[in-house]
């Protein structure tokens, strides 16, 4: 098998099954290092951090589940910028042995548990206004970092310039939608496909609100499986196999689900012959330790996936 590993952030994903369909597949990683800020995280947090500093805020307040990549990234980003961070965690009780929450605490984040019922209010303007009153010195960043500021950061990433020329398609995992909107805005000559990893009927409207003038994006909803955070043995096998073949770690919640969907789309002939596809590796590798902690990954599988490329 031929693997081209350029010194930059691109790696060609070559497989006979892809070649057979006469498309080129390129994976883009912001960094090979598996830190919590890699992938889309640093991009989505860039402007919120800037605004918090400009407005003289003490820090950032944001939301997430107990294993949230976004919470982990926000904690570390704030620490790096000498800002405080508060994470509202969707849980009845904080489990400080959970690796994600442990990391957040070690990075100085103050964690506040909130019930599932309250968490549902996270986009409710009245609830947010009340929260802002309670924490006037903190910039409130929505779940997943998806807001106009987050979208702006992602839109600065040009994913069409592969080492082998321009790509016509960009593929990314989609959770809260900001990454898809940002890529669509920043790459107007490409078609951007978001593979939904969550069942959320409100997503298309939310994405439209961030990029109302663009129609170069599509949300693909057929590969979510049983829902957010759920994966089957086949998907895990795909991630393990991908690691062995390409020395790139995918996790089964976001990037693995999206890449597996992309392989299926390629196999169905969904892309015209001769076209080039860029896949955005959005990070999320900090979540692997959480999957092992929950017993969703065996120690052996964790060791394979977590090993450096």
Ligand X SMILES: Cc1ncc(COP(=O)(O)O)c(C=O)c1O
Q: Please report how close the Cβ of residue 56 comes to ligand X at its closest, in angstroms.
A: 27
Q: Please report how close the Cβ of residue 2 comes to ligand X at its closest, in angstroms.
A: 27
What count of residues does the chain have? 309
Choose between 70 and 246: whose C-beta lies nearer to ligand X: 70
Choose between 18 and 151: whose C-beta lies nearer to ligand X: 151
- CA-CA distance, 245 to 82, in Å (whole number)? 40
Q: Please report how close the Cβ of residue 155 comes to ligand X at its closest, in angstroms.
A: 12
For ligand X, which residue has the nearest CB?
A: 284
Q: Which of 138, 119, 122, 107 has its CA nearest to residue 36?
A: 107
Q: Please report how close the Cβ of residue 289 comes to ligand X at its closest, in angstroms.
A: 14
Cα-to-chain-centroid distance, residue 277: 18
Choose between 135 and 228: whose C-beta lies nearer to ligand X: 228
Using CB under 6 A as the criterion, which residues of the chain lie in contact with ligand X when the complex forms? 39-40, 69-70, 144, 146, 173-180, 254-255, 282-284
Choose between 69 and 162: whose C-beta lies nearer to ligand X: 69
Choose between 146 and 296: whose C-beta lies nearer to ligand X: 146
Q: Is the distance from CB of 155 to CB of 126 less than 8 angstroms?
A: no
Q: Please report how close the Cβ of residue 254 comes to ligand X at its closest, in angstroms.
A: 3
Q: Is the distance from CB of 149 to CB of 51 less than 8 angstroms?
A: yes
Q: CB 55: neighbour CB atoms within 10 A?
A: 9
With b for 16 or more beta-carbon neighbours within 10 A and e for fewer, the 263-285 pattern comes to: bebbeeebbeeebbbbbbbbbbb
Q: Which of 226, 224, 298 has its CA nearest to residue 264?
A: 224
């Amino acid at each position: 098998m031929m693997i081209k590993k350029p010194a930059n952030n691109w790696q060609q994903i070559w497989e006979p099954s892809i070649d057979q369909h006469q498309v080129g597949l390129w994976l883009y990683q912001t960094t090979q290092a598996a830190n919590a800020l890699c992938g889309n995280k640093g991009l989505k947090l860039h402007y919120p951090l800037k605004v918090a500093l400009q407005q003289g805020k003490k820090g950032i307040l944001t939301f997430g589940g107990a294993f949230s990549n976004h919470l982990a990234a926000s904690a570390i980003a704030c620490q790096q910028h000498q800002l405080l961070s508060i994470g509202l965690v969707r849980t009845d009780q904080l489990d400080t042995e959970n690796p994600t929450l442990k990391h957040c605490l070690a990075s100085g984040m103050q964690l506040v548990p909130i019930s599932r019922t309250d968490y549902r209010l996270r986009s409710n303007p009245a609830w947010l206004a009340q929260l802002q009153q309670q924490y006037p010195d903190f910039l409130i960043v929505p779940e997943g970092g998806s807001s106009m500021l987050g979208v702006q950061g992602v839109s600065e990433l040009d994913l069409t310039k592969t080492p082998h020329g321009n790509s016509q398609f960009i593929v990314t995992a989609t959770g809260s939608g900001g990454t898809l909107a940002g890529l669509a805005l920043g790459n107007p000559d490409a078609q951007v496909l978001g593979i939904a990893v969550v069942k959320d009927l409100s997503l298309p409207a939310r994405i439209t609100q961030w990029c109302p003038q663009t129609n170069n994006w599509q949300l693909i909803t057929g590969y979510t499986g049983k829902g957010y955070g759920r994966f089957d043995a086949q998907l895990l096998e795909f991630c393990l196999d991908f690691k062995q073949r390409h020395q790139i770690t995918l996790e089964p919640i976001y990037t693995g689900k999206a890449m597996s969907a992309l392989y299926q789309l390629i196999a169905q002939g969904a892309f015209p012959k001769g076209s080039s596809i860029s896949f955005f590796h959005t990070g999320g590798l900090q979540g692997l330790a959480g999957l092992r902690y929950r017993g969703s990954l065996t120690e052996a599988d964790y060791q394979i996936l977590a090993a450096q490329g």
